[in-house]
Structure 1
């Protein structure tokens, strides 16, 4: 029996990541409101959120809205808009955020919490590192391919949020080195996202293609050199973590690949593009990351068949 006190939760940007964590909390009894696109909201209102995961396939009832004002009264906001929309999403929420609410950034990239704080002065914002393979299979339909753990930044409510997430089946830890953990996740994204997008291929098949693991090794080495020049301490065995992605998420397309296949702009400027930009500023060459960044930008703008 779950004895964790209920948190009122809002998910700002209810895509695949936000729906997974919001859905897990709703399934554990927390009142959750998803804020997303009209077709998705209509489907959730009509039939709940279908969570098709590795361990269950259920329709989870929760509230849904298209308006940022639906964050009003939330104790916890799971902020999962795309990285280019971080500041605009924060500005939309700002008039409606409750005092004392925690805004938890569940986003790709390493600087989203920092950028969000600039538009939410006086509100508590914490970064999180997200390790989950998931996609939207259609409006109101989430498909989970693996993992799901979170690493979150210390804050006044982090312990309470960690307790709620853990009780909901989401392995969660609080870390004093979230910056390093975010860089570790950035490196994984830089290794896989662009290649999965250019090849339109899932991770398990991607690493079997000739030359791919060698190119990944070059990308990772550049990222590590940039991080070191920026004074970032990256935890864990990075090479082992890169290998583990294909092993634990073999059927996953990267979020960048999913964006391109749907004709949407990607977050590549905040992944390989961020490493290129940082490398330029710090005098560290990044040719492999630059090549992937350019290829994805070309693919974004290519005419659709």
Structure 2
């Protein structure tokens, strides 16, 4: 399978690297700092069974991509439309676009820009870039994808490559569940630069997270999406599964990069305003991260 990965950050490099290791023809589109390292030394992927050095094609210019059977979109939510326009030249009639992004509406944005069907996906993996062309794995690894004629073949290829993949008709609900988890953890972890388990040990944090979850549930219901009654417990259990993990928002702040906060807590605030639902806790967390961005951000999108 010929695969193009648009946005070769931690998730893109992790999934793309495993697919390349399994023998697929993969090309990563990413920033020069990572592409140069991958070209020189291969992609270094730290896994529980040891480090793997994977030979994989990497480019910085979308014009260097070849037509693909499968396109994995892994860019930040703010860059979705730009990514859609970049990938237009490599789309064929049978190309499948898979959105491996945070947020709940990126697949729809890609459909609008490309005029091509897009399959939404939910990624359950904790990874980060430990250095140029170097991915660190911290837990998880499975994938949930929507249904399309090629879903069975895609799920089989991913699973064989070490990314267990399930096809689901309820991906939108899963995306909202993940959004709620991100809203509860990402901003708090970012502002304090703290991992999940020690974060929950701070007095008052669980109460704040409960307020975040309730606001997310209220907004989701207004959008005709019903989150599970056990949503808060699912949120709290994440700290047990990923005790040493810091949020992707925390990683962005640390590196001086723009975050996705406007598409996490900020999305809840915007949708809440549309429906007349108050979301003060999500708004406070959004503003806190925006303040941290203003003081730390020094890299363009």
TM-score by length of 2: 0.95
* Deviation of 1:118 (Å): 0.7
Aligned position for 1:41: 35
Aligned position for 1:3: none
* Deviation of 1:99 (Å): 2.4
RMSD: 1.5
Following superposition of structure 1 onto structure 2, how do residues 7-86 of structure 1 map, counting pairs within 5 Å?
A: 7-86=1-80
Aligned position for 2:151: 158
**1:219-244 CA distances to partner (integer Å, 9 max, x unpaired)?**
00110011011111335832232122
* Deviation of 1:178 (Å): 1.1
Q: Which runs of 5+ in 2 are unaligned?
A: none
Counterparts of 2:296 and 2:8 in 1: how far apart (Å)?
A: 28
Following superposition of structure 1 onto structure 2, how do residues 140-179 of structure 1 map, counting pairs within 5 Å?
A: 140-179=133-172
* Deviation of 1:32 (Å): 1.0
Q: Secondary structure at the match of 1:210?
A: coil
Aligned position for 1:4: none
Q: Secondary structure at the match of 1:128?
A: strand
* Deviation of 1:304 (Å): 7.1
The alignment status of 1:238 with 2:240, answered yes or no, reads: no
Aligned position for 2:110: 116
Counterparts of 2:158 and 2:254 in 1: how far apart (Å)?
A: 31
Counterparts of 1:249 and 1:58 in 2: how far apart (Å)?
A: 22
Counterparts of 1:43 and 1:236 in 2: how far apart (Å)?
A: 46
From the superposition, tell whether residues 303 and 61 of structure 1 become closer, same or farther in structure 2 (CA, over 3 Å). closer
**1:49-102 CA distances to partner (integer Å, 9 max, x unpaired)?**
100022331101111111113442211111001100000111111122232111
Aligned position for 2:121: 128
Counterparts of 2:49 and 2:143 in 1: how far apart (Å)?
A: 18
Contact kept, 8 Å, 1:198 with 1:296, in 2: the verdict is yes
Contact kept, 8 Å, 2:67 with 2:89, in 1: the verdict is no
From the superposition, tell whether residues 303 and 26 of structure 1 become closer, same or farther in structure 2 (CA, over 3 Å). closer
Q: Secondary structure at the match of 1:302?
A: helix
Counterparts of 2:157 and 2:70 in 1: how far apart (Å)?
A: 11
Contact kept, 8 Å, 2:253 with 2:296, in 1: the verdict is no
